Amino acid sequence: MKKLAQKLADERGLKVEIEDINSDPPAVSDETILKTAEAATTAAGYSQMRLPSRAYHDSLFIARIAPMGMIFVPSKSGYSHRSDEYTSPEEIQRGVEILTQTMAELSLR
C-alpha cells in the first residue's frame, strides 16, 4: 500500500506522508480447534476449506489469552463486512450446527 501510494503521488506531483498508527501481529488459529471443526464439517457432509481472515475480529485479541478458531459460512457473492453481505438462513443453520458439534467435542477433552 505504501509503495502504491508513493507511486500515485509521484505520478500526480503530490506529496504523501504515511504514518503507521497500529500494526498488530496476526493471530493464529489453534490447530486442535481447526481440526475439530473440520471433523464436524466432514461428518455433517459439508464442504470446507481453510481461509485466512484479514478482518479485525475480536479473535485477534482472544488469541492472545486463549486458543481461538473461526467458522465461516458462505455469503452471497463472497461478500463479507459490507452492507450487501447476505448469508442464507440455511447456511447460518449449518454454521451453528458445526459450531455446536465443535464445542461439544472440545468440551469432552
Let me know: does 48 contact 9? Beta carbons within 8 Å: no
31 in any annotated domain? yes
Q: Which three cell numbers stand for residue 97?
A: 450446527
Give per-residue pLDDT as tens, 35-60: 999 999 999 999 999 988 877 778 88
Instruction: Report if residue 81 sits inside a domain.
Output: yes
Grid cell in block for residue 75: 455469503
Mean pLDDT, the chain cut into blocks of 10 residues (109 residues total): 94 94 89 98 96 82 93 92 94 98 96
Among the residues of 1-65, which ranges form H helices?
Answer: 2-12, 31-44, 59-62
Q: Which domain holds residue 56?
A: 24-107
71 within some domain? yes
Give the CATH number for residue 57.
1.10.150.900
**Number of structural domains the chain divides into:** 1
CA dist 82 and 72 (Å) reads 15
Contact between 43 and 100 (Cβ < 8 Å):
no
Q: In one letter, which amino acid is 98? A: I
- pTM, to two decimals: 0.77
